[in-house]
Amino acid sequence: MEKTGLRTLLAVILSMIILFGSQYLYTKFYRPKEPPVRQEQEIKKEEKAVASSNIQLPATKKEEPKKIVKDTRYKEIEIENEAFRVVFSNEGATIKRIELKKYKDKKGNPIVLASSEISALCIVKDGKFDYAKVIFNIEESKVSFKDSDEARITFNYIDGESSIKRTFIFNKKDYSIEVKEEIRGINSYYVTLGKDFGIFDKEDTSHWGPIILKEADRIELTPNKIKEMVTYKEGVRWIAQEDKYFFAAIVPVTKANQFVISPYNGNALIFVEFNEGQNHYKLFAGPKEYDYLKKFNVGLEHIVDFGFFSIIARPLFWFLKLLYTLTSNYGVAIIILTILVRIPFIPIVNRGQKSMQKLSELQPKLMQLKEQYKNDPQRLQKEIMELYKKYKINPMSGCLPILLQIPVFFALYKILTLAIELRHAPFMLWIQDLSAKDPYYVLPILMGATMLIQQKMTPTTMDSTQQKIMLILPVVFTFIFLTFPSGLVLYWLINNIFGIAQQFYINQKIKRRV
């Protein structure tokens, strides 16, 4: 029976290695080449390549570079608020790019969200991109917020058969743009986000590309696995393109006919179809800030997906941000969080450590029972259980401290790898990004050392062979944690230090009693 605790502990550790190791390897070397099972299931449920989704995509053949001659009437107009700078073009009445003022790339330049080849919010008529190159008139323009909390720009185009009026409305602070359209002479039309608009980094992420919120279900689609047009009609709240930290989404205010994801040269394009008349939708383009997105009440907060551990991760994340408001340092917030999470479990851990101490003291009696009943395993198990019962010992209690850490560990892993609030969040000295690995591997080495110290201090019933096996674990954990976010290693390190202090207190208490 004393081997049960070892087996359980090894099973837990092996599970952690498989879970986190596979996630790391998938993100690092095997970026989405295989679609999630959920994607295949959802696509089967939806209509595929329906007639009303007959969109003729632009040719993607490689041609010799040609000198591009812009129409002399071509103009670019900038509107800037506290959150971003948006560059519009009167060619197609589209968005050329958005610069996020509060977020920088590795070189210190503002993050730029732009669409290659096909401009963002391009209008598609009869499945064709004819309006992409049309020069619109600028009917109204108020590009500054002077004396007002609102800025706007209106584009207008009229030909012999149809008319298009498009107004973009901004406020001072948000990453959102209201889009109001008056379309006449066109039975129905599509609006597209363009190629990769909203996607900044395809490398360091487990998913990039189209994503849909259909009722309460978050559906991810892998671009190079979409072989034909996929159409969603009912229950869609928004459609977006995302990477790890940034996204762009169209959120209809008036009713949309359908939402289409189409394959495009190994990538994907997304479209929203509206009927002619007056239509209203919102464009969100920026960071995945959970609290900010939640306030709009349209389900955009689901763009931040903590997965299976959401039930723990969300309140933990809320509390971590609360601590940050008090400390102005996420590293300090993680330390405080670690201690506060451990405090309620002190009595349970103390009981477990005392139980392990008693188990260690009973080792001679256990060895005696083994010798006495070595030819009768069932009787041996029964006698051992009676001994545990007599001395009120739980042989599993030694695993309890680690088991209690697991849910918080998993949840914090998700927070540190997905929450943009911790992107480039500094701690101190050489740790300048808690979401990235320790560049000098100091924290993982300290974590391994404290793990070894904790092992040496904890009473054990293992034989010499088992103890040697367990001594390998700090080394294994150190190598695993080398590539983990430094914030996560910091959490485990503080946990170990807390455990060492607790074990020292128990050991001293037992010595005094003896």
Give the DSSP per-residue string, 369-411.
HHHHTTT-HHHHHHHHHHHHHHTT--TTGGGHHHHHHHHHHHH
Question: How far is residue 198 from each of residues 118, 171, 213, 246, 445, measured CA to CA in Å?
Answer: 13, 20, 16, 6, 38
CB crowding 444-476: b at 16 or more within 10 Å, else e: bbbbbebbbbbeeebbbbbeeeeeeebeebbee
How sure is the predictor about 142, in pLDDT bands with cuts at 50, 70 and 90? Answer: confident
Around Cβ 384, how many Cβ atoms within 10 Å? 19
Are 99 and 112 within 8 A, CB to CB? Answer: yes
State the pTM of this model.
0.79
Q: Look at residue 3 and tell me whether its pLDDT is greater than 80.
A: no
Which position has the token pair 């190629």?
195
Q: Who contacts 469 (Cβ-Cβ below 8 Å, separation ≥6)?
A: none
CB crowding 89-128: b at 16 or more within 10 Å, else e: bbbbbbbbbbbbeebeeeeeeebebbbeebbbbbbbbeee
Q: What integer pLDDT is reported at residue 398 of this predicted model?
A: 57
Which of 5-19, 76-90, 202-216, 366-380 is the least confident region?
5-19
How sure is the predictor about 307, in pLDDT bands with cuts at 50, 70 and 90? Answer: confident
Please name which of 344, 317, 341, 339 lies closest in space to residue 330, comparing C-alpha atoms: 317
How sure is the predictor about 510, in pLDDT bands with cuts at 50, 70 and 90? Answer: low
Concatenating the DSSP letter of every residue in 416-444 gives HHH-GGGTT---BTTB--TTS--TT-HHH
* pLDDT (tens digit per residue) in 380-410: 778 777 777 777 666 665 566 667 667 887 8
Which residue would you say has higher pLDDT here, 322 or 399? Answer: 322
- The secondary structure element, H or E, covering residue 270 is strand 267-287
In angstroms, rounded to a whole number, what is the distance separating the alpha carbons of residues 98 and 79?
Answer: 10
In order of their start, the domains of the chain are 2-25+313-513 (no CATH), 31-58+73-299 (2.70.98.90)
Concatenating the DSSP letter of every residue in 30-87 gives -TT-S--HHHHHHHHHSEES-GGG---PPP------------TT--EEEEE-SSEEEE
Q: What integer pLDDT is reported at residue 414 of this predicted model?
A: 87
Q: Look at residue 258 and tell me whether its pLDDT is greater than 90.
A: yes
Question: How far is residue 178 from each of residues 55, 139, 166, 195, 276, measured CA to CA in Å?
Answer: 25, 17, 10, 21, 18
How sure is the predictor about 442, in pLDDT bands with cuts at 50, 70 and 90? Answer: very high
Q: What integer pLDDT is reported at residue 93 of this predicted model?
A: 92
Helix, coil or strand: residue 302: helix
Q: How crowded is the C-beta side of 279, counted as CA atoms within 13 Å?
A: 27
Q: What integer pLDDT is reported at residue 91 of this predicted model?
A: 92
Which residue would you say has higher pLDDT here, 108 or 287? Answer: 287
What is the crossing angle of helices 486-513 and 442-457, to 10°? Answer: 20
In angstroms, rounded to a whole number, what is the distance separating the alpha carbons of residues 89 and 287?
Answer: 23
Q: What integer pLDDT is reported at residue 480 of this predicted model?
A: 86
What are 273's two structure tokens? 């179809």
In angstroms, rounded to a whole number, what is the distance separating the alpha carbons of residues 413 and 486?
Answer: 10
Q: Who contacts 52 (Cβ-Cβ below 8 Å, separation ≥6)?
A: 188, 231, 257, 258, 273
Average pLDDT for the chain:
81
Are 232 and 244 within 8 A, CB to CB? Answer: no
Q: What integer pLDDT is reported at residue 16 of this predicted model?
A: 53
Which of 270-274, 321-325, 428-432, 508-512 is the least confident region?
508-512
Which position has the token pair 């099973």?
11
Q: What integer pLDDT is reported at residue 210 of this predicted model?
A: 94
Which residue would you say has higher pLDDT here, 151 or 66? Answer: 151
Which position has the token pair 């103390």?
350
Length reported for the chain: 514
Helix, coil or strand: residue 124: strand
Task: State which amino acid sits at residue 498.
Answer: F
* pLDDT (tens digit per residue) in 196-208: 999 999 887 888 9
Which residue would you say has higher pLDDT here, 41 or 134? Answer: 134
* pLDDT (tens digit per residue) in 23-51: 444 444 444 444 343 444 444 444 444 43
How sure is the predictor about 514, in pLDDT bands with cuts at 50, 70 and 90? Answer: low
* pLDDT (tens digit per residue) in 163-204: 999 999 999 889 999 999 999 999 999 999 999 999 999 887
Q: What integer pLDDT is reported at residue 473 of this predicted model?
A: 82
Q: What integer pLDDT is reported at residue 71 of this predicted model?
A: 66
- The DSSP symbol for 265 reads T
Q: What integer pLDDT is reported at residue 167 of this predicted model?
A: 95
Which residue would you say has higher pLDDT here, 302 or 10? Answer: 302
Q: What integer pLDDT is reported at residue 55 of this predicted model?
A: 65
What are 196's two structure tokens? 């990769």
Q: What integer pLDDT is reported at residue 322 of this predicted model?
A: 94
* pLDDT (tens digit per residue) in 462-499: 556 666 777 788 888 898 889 889 998 998 899 889 88
Helix, coil or strand: residue 183: strand
Please name every residue paired with 285 in a beta bridge, in sequence order, or none if there are none: 248
Q: What integer pLDDT is reported at residue 249 of this predicted model?
A: 96
Q: What integer pLDDT is reported at residue 99 of this predicted model?
A: 95
Are 239 and 204 within 8 A, CB to CB? Answer: no
* Mean pLDDT score, 100-127: 89
